[in-house]
Amino acid sequence: MFKLPVIRFFVLSFCLVFMLSGCSVFMAAKQPGKKDISLFKVGTSRSLLIAEFGAPIISEERNGKKYELFKFTQGYGGASKVGRAMFHGAADVFTLGLWEVVGTPTEMVFDGSEMAYEVSYDADNRVETVANLKKK
């Protein structure tokens, strides 16, 4: 009835589609979270910045003032990540996994924006100046 090469082709195709299915769903769900960049303002405490953005990548003293450089990836809010993951999941089901050809590269592109801020502090470890150095 069916020849072995034809059966082998369909089995391998099914396995490939099954293995690829879900990559874009996983990638959308694992995107970095949204950071509260409104904290980069005069008067914010150093400890609050570290709690939100993690340890600074550079911390130095210049002219008697402490300067720190925060670098992070600005991601997406929870609702956005859930919505994208659900869309990718539904598209995978309706296209029998073929959506991954479009969905996975799309999620690779939308991986958040790399940002960097330089902050100086006053004597009480509160933000005195803020400079936005990098926004993707």
SS3 123: coil
C-beta separation of 58 from 107 below 8 A = no
Task: Give the pLDDT band of residue 136 (cuts 50, 70, 90).
Answer: low
- Whole-number pLDDT of residue 16: 62
- Whole-number pLDDT of residue 133: 92
pLDDT at 13 over 60: yes
Domain range enclosing 87: 4-135
Q: Which residue is it, tokens 């050809």? A: 101
Render pLDDT for 96-133 as a digit per residue (tens, 0 to 9). 888 888 898 888 888 888 999 999 999 999 999 999 99
Q: Both tokens of residue 92?
A: 């995978």
C-beta separation of 49 from 35 below 8 A = no
Q: Which of residues 19 and 72 earns the better pLDDT score?
A: 72
- Whole-number pLDDT of residue 22: 64
Task: Please tell me the total count of domains within the chain.
Answer: 1
Render pLDDT for 33-86 as a digit per residue (tens, 0 to 9). 999 999 999 999 999 999 999 999 999 999 999 999 999 999 988 888 899 989
